[in-house]
């Protein structure tokens, strides 16, 4: 039987520290001798990185929520085929900075109730959930200030402001309650090393 790896995702509002924590976990697991694939969404494969540019650059009203669901799912399908599935089949620990929970919230709740559409398309085209999801919880104002302190042209969703981030934060907490077996809520408003230590403890327990 082919070796199966483990699939870990990081979710949460912009600026909550997902990328920082994903990187720290990857480093820690590598030091412990694990074969790790660190990846991100939107993106994580050449085709999906092309789609990333389409969805994250330009006017915030460029796409409808429905079109975005299709674009993010198309990117995810390529990411799954080219990056995630091969790595899991090779027995690697795959760590993704965002996955379908982001679509469930950013496209699923912020511009009408499209969560059912996201879930149906996900079932049809992706059909995989993470084994373990860290929801980094954070005050929206702090998260937004952190996100804005970064440079770059990818600001479409951050641009929607603090009200939207607050709605997303509540949504992430509800989602974690909906999937308690895989989702762990982590307080992100602490020293990065402290947050990383808590996450590492949960992953170690999971890896057995």
97 contacts ligand TYD (rule: CB under 6 A): yes
Q: What is the C-alpha separation between 208 and 206, in angstroms, rounded?
A: 5
Q: From the list ligand ADP, ligand TYD, none, pick the one residue 56 interacts with, judged by a Cβ distance below 5 to 8 Å according to partner type.
A: ligand TYD
Instruction: Give the DSSP H or E segment for 75.
Output: helix 65-79
Minimum CB distance to ligand ADP smaller for 15 or for 42: 15
Token pair of 128 as six digits: 């995989």
- Identify the H or E element spanning 195: helix 192-207
Provide, rounded to whole angstroms, the least separation between the CB of residue 123 and ligand ADP: 27
Query: Coil, helix or strand for 34?
Result: coil
126 is a site residue for ligand TYD (CB under 6 A): no
DSSP, residue by residue, 108-147? TTBTBS-HHHHHHHHHHHT----SEEEEEE--HHHHHHHH
- Please count the CA atoms within 13 angstroms of the CA of 61 that sit on its side-chain side: 0
Q: Give the binding site for ligand ADP (CB under 6 A).
A: 12, 14-20, 146-147, 149-150, 188, 190, 192, 195
Bridge partners (DSSP) listed for residue 169: none
C-beta closer to ligand ADP: residue 117 or 135: 135
| Distance in Å, CB of 159 to ligand ADP, minimum | 14
Q: Is 54 in the site for ligand TYD (CB under 6 A)?
A: no
Nearer to ligand ADP, 113 or 191 (CB): 191
Question: CA-CA distances (angstroms) from residue 197 to 19, 75, 191?
Answer: 15, 32, 10
Choice between 121 and 183, CB closer to ligand ADP: 183
Nearer to ligand TYD, 83 or 103 (CB): 103
195 binds, among ligand ADP, ligand TYD, none (CB under 5 to 8 A by kind): ligand ADP
Residues at the site binding ligand TYD, with contacts judged by CB under 6 A: 14-15, 18-19, 41-42, 56, 72, 97-98, 102-103, 106-107, 147, 157-158
């Amino acid at each position: 039987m082919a070796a199966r790896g483990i699939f870990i995702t990081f979710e949460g509002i912009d600026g909550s520290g997902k990328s920082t924590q994903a990187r720290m976990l990857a480093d820690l697991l590598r030091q412990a001798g694990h074969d790790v694939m660190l990846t991100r969404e939107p993106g994580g494969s050449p085709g999906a990185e092309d789609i990333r540019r389409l969805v994250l650059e330009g006017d915030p009203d460029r796409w409808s929520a429905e079109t975005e669901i299709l674009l993010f799912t198309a990117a995810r399908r390529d990411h799954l085929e080219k990056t995630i599935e091969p790595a899991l089949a090779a027995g690697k620990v795959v760590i993704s900075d965002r996955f379908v929970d982001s679509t469930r919230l950013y496209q699923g709740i912020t511009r009408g109730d499209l969560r059912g559409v996201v879930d149906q398309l996900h079932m049809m085209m992706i059909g995989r959930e993470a084994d373990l999801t860290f929801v980094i919880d954070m005050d929206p104002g702090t998260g937004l200030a952190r996100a804005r302190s970064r440079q770059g042209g990818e600001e479409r969703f951050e641009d929607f402001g603090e009200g939207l981030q607050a709605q997303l934060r509540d949504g992430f907490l509800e989602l974690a309650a909906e999937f308690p077996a895989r989702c762990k809520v982590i307080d992100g408003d602490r020293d990065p090393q402290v947050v990383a230590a808590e996450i590492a403890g949960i992953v170690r327990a999971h890896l057995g």
